[in-house]
């Protein structure tokens, strides 16, 4: 490949990663771009998880063989089987060199120098590949993982200049990964409550809108638990705000624990002493059970006075839910009733018969005109 084509390939790889929305797209762009740039038939991107002692595959792209998923859930290999990333690279860096790529074939090393290659050779043969080039990815001065590009058996073998080019591509991938990580951190901060680590109101708003839209399109069950942590003001006044913050953090952990009973549920803090759980797909009874556990565990906290919980689910007789705002009004009204009654169990909208007082409270005109008591008051009316 000529210098102009290689430069164009580097630019295309960088642009592809820069345009990615989220880590998965960035990984796909990295592996796919490198595969095309090196004339490979298959590429993979792996991360070195030091704490687990393994290389975990993030993405496989190109001509995948049986068992190779694009985004594998748990394709990983003990790092001692591919010790180059720890031993060979360390030796090279310790000697003042750069983390160069190397080439291996189904017969053994072909260009560059590597460590014990038996596992890679066996993998090439097993998957019908003739050769591969392996380029370490270095991030923040440390080995982060590796870029792997292969060609089929019978095809041309990667040469030394291909390995050198792979080293360049790996540095571009490293820069793209660093940028992706920075953007993910910004997104995380934008959608995370700083004190508790739960989702913040912005994240809950977005997820609730998406969930209700799915309910309208597909009929999927959407349930919302809204809760107030009782006694926070007393704790703040008596013990100080630092202790009150610890209570909020502790309750946030309890909420997260109970939310884990509902696969995929979102635990959030709406602000102040107001929290919520949003569940999509779970039956209403399962959500009520999780809310009951929340009430029980909150009552056992050393500080505070338990929690008032209200539940609203499209799985219950609450009438049509055409907007996120109506589901919130119902859960909020149920929580309001739980607080007024000092209930130690959740109040569930729609379960008190045809003239359910919670549904009536949620739908009365005064709540439409004045807005909810809480932070969703700024949302548009249905």
With CA atoms as reference, report the closest residue to 309 among 224, 225, 185, 213.
225
The β-bridge partners of 76 are 56
The β-bridge partners of 348 are 311
| pTM for the model | 0.58
b/e per residue 51-71 (b: at least 16 CB within 10 A): eeebbbbbbbbbbeeeebeee
State phi, psi for 303 to the nearest 5 degrees: -110, 165
Distance (Å, whole) CA 46 – CA 132: 14
**Token pair for residue 124?**
């090439």
CB–CB of 198/254 below 8 Å? no
Distance (Å, whole) CA 340 – CA 355: 19
Angle (deg, nearest 10), helices 284-299 and 241-259: 150
Beta strands in 4-68 (DSSP E): 42-49, 54-62
| DSSP character at residue 63 | S
Q: What is the pLDDT of residue 98?
A: 56
Distance (Å, whole) CA 337 – CA 346: 10
Q: pLDDT tens digits for the chain (382 residues)? A: 678 889 999 999 999 999 998 899 999 999 999 999 999 999 999 998 877 778 899 999 999 998 899 999 889 988 766 656 655 444 444 444 556 888 989 886 654 444 446 778 888 999 999 999 999 998 887 788 999 999 999 999 999 999 999 999 999 999 999 998 888 878 778 888 889 889 999 999 999 999 999 999 999 999 999 999 998 889 888 899 999 999 999 999 999 999 989 988 999 999 999 999 999 999 999 999 999 999 999 988 888 889 999 999 999 999 999 999 999 999 999 999 999 999 999 999 999 888 889 999 988 865 444 444 444 433 433 3
Distance (Å, whole) CA 176 – CA 18: 7
Residue 253: Cβ within 10 Å count? 15
Angle (deg, nearest 10), helices 324-340 and 201-218: 120
Q: Is 306 exposed, middle or buried (0-12, 13-18, 19+ CB in 10 A)?
A: buried
- Non-local (6+) Cβ contacts of 322 within 8 A are 212, 216, 382
The β-bridge partners of 109 are 104
Residue 262: Cβ within 10 Å count? 23
Q: HSE, CB side, 13 Å, CA atoms: give it for residue 279.
A: 31
Q: What is the pLDDT of residue 171?
A: 94
Q: HSE, CB side, 13 Å, CA atoms: give it for residue 139.
A: 18
Q: What is the pLDDT of residue 1?
A: 64
Q: What is the CA radius of gyration of the chain?
A: 27
Distance (Å, whole) CA 357 – CA 41: 64
The β-bridge partners of 147 are 45, 135
3-state class (DSSP) for residue 117? coil
Beta strands in 281-367 (DSSP E): 307-313, 347-348
Q: Per-residue DSSP letters for 75-93?
A: -EEEGGGGGGGTTHHHHHH
Q: Residue 346 — left, alpha, or beta (φ > 0 → left; ψ -120 to 50 → alpha)?
A: beta
Distance (Å, whole) CA 269 – CA 37: 46
């Amino acid at each position: 490949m000529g210098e102009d084509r290689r430069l164009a390939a580097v630019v295309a790889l960088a642009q592809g990663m820069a345009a990615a929305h989220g880590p998965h797209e960035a990984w796909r762009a990295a592996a796919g771009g490198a595969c095309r740039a090196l004339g490979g038939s298959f590429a993979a991107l792996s991360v070195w998880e030091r704490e687990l002692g393994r290389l975990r595959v993030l993405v496989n792209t190109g001509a995948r063989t049986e068992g190779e998923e694009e985004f594998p859930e748990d394709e990983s290999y003990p790092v001692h089987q591919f010790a180059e990333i720890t031993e060979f690279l360390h030796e090279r860096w310790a000697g003042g060199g750069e983390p160069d790529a190397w080439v291996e074939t189904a017969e053994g090393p072909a260009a560059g120098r590597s460590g014990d290659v038996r596992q890679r050779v066996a993998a090439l043969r097993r998957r019908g590949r003739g050769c591969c080039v392996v380029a370490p990815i270095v991030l923040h001065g440390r080995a982060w993982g590796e870029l792997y590009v292969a060609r089929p058996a019978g095809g041309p073998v990667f040469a030394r200049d291909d390995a050198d080019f792979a080293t360049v591509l790996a540095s571009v991938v490293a820069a793209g990964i660093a940028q992706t990580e920075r953007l993910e951190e910004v997104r995380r901060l934008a959608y995370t409550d700083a004190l508790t680590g739960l989702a913040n109101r912005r994240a809950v708003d977005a997820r609730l809108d998406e969930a209700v839209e799915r309910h309208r399109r597909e009929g999927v069950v959407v349930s919302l638990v809204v809760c107030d942590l009782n006694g926070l003001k007393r704790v703040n006044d008596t013990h100080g705000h630092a202790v009150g913050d610890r209570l909020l953090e502790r309750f946030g952990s309890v909420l997260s624990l109970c939310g884990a009973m509902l696969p995929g549920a979102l635990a959030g803090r709406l602000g102040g002493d107001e929290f919520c759980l949003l569940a999509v797909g779970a039956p209403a009874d399962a959500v009520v059970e999780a809310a009951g556990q929340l009430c029980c565990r909150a009552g056992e906290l050393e500080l505070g006075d338990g929690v008032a919980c209200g539940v609203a689910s499209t799985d219950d007789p609450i009438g049509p839910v055409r907007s996120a705002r109506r589901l919130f009004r119902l859960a909020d009204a149920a929580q309001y009733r739980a607080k007024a009654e000092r209930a130690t169990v959740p109040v569930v909208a729609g379960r008190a018969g045809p003239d359910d007082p919670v549904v009536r409270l949620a739908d009365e005109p005064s709540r439409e005109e004045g807005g909810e008591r809480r932070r969703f008051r700024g949302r548009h009316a249905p």
